[in-house]
Amino acid sequence: DAKTTQPNSMESNEEEPVHLPCNHSTISGTDYIHWYRQLPSQGPEYVIHGLTSNVNNRMASLAIAEDRKSSTLILHRATLRDAAVYYCILRPNSNSGYALNFGKGTSLLVTP
């Protein structure tokens, strides 16, 4: 399975935009890019996913590079509640794509 690489940690100020990067240089053409986050003492929470085009929802935006070897999760205005571990996950569009293969993710610290 293709792997993802994320920074171990990032820090942001409250009410500022946050760009969380993810490298996936061995992505295959049918792999979807998913993002989840895990707040302290909670289960992971789905954030957004995409295949080729940029995606927006009420939580965040996902910017996917043209060659699909990297992507960026954008939180437009960080709040203290956004402090969490963010996971970038590739999901094959095949019979091995039912699982979510979490790595270590990026721990985001948001300061007032």
Q: Does 11 bind another protein (CB under 8 A)?
A: no
List residues bridging with 106 in a β-sheet: 86
In angstroms, the CA 94 to CA 91 distance is 8
Q: Does 41 bind another protein (CB under 8 A)?
A: yes
87 closest CA partner among 110, 75, 104: 104
Q: Does 94 bind another protein (CB under 8 A)?
A: yes
Q: Does 2 bind another protein (CB under 8 A)?
A: no
Task: Name which position in 49, 59, 61, 72 contacts another protein (CB under 8 A).
Answer: 49
Q: Which residues contact 64 (CB under 8 A, 6 or more apart)?
A: 33, 50, 51, 52, 53, 54, 55, 71
- Per CB under 8 A, the segment of 19-27, 58-66, 76-84, 90-98 that binds another protein is 90-98
List of residues contacting another protein (CB under 8 A): 32, 34, 41-46, 49, 85, 87, 91, 93-105
